Amino acid sequence: MKVWAMIKTDDHIVRDTLFDVGYAKRGDVQDWPALVGEACHALDLARPVILRKHLHDISAFSRVVFKPDDFMEQVVFDRFEIEILFDKKADAKNK
C-alpha cells in the first residue's frame, strides 16, 4: 500500500508526497501514528497531535485530515491530509 500525504491551502495542494509502505492490507497496519510520522518527516512538517478520532478515521476510511489546531506549532496551511492507497491486485490476492 502507499501513503499519499498532502498539505492544502484554499483547497489547493501546496506540497505532497507519495511513498510505499510494506503493508499489503489495512488490517496489517499495527502502528498508524508511525505512518503519520513518516508522512510528516517526508514533508518536513511538525507532527500533529494524534487523537482517537484521527486513528479511527485513518483505520476506518483510509483517510485523515489534520487542521491547524491539531498542531502544537503554528502552521501556515489549512489542512494536512493523509490518504492510504491500496493496490487492488495485491488486496485481491490476500483475500
- The predicted pLDDT at position 41 comes to 94
List the domain boundaries for the chain: 2-89
Mapping DSSP to helix (H, G, I), strand (E, B) and coil, where does residue 92 land? helix
Express each pLDDT in 20-71 by its tens digit. 887 666 666 678 888 899 999 999 999 999 999 998 998 889 899 999 999 9
Q: How far apart are CA 37 and CA 51, in angstroms?
A: 14
Express each pLDDT in 64-91 by its tens digit. 999 999 999 999 999 999 999 987 765 4
Residue-by-residue DSSP string for 29-46: ---HHHHHHHHHHHTT-P
The structure's pTM equals 0.84
**Beta strand spans in 10-72 (E):** 12-20, 63-66
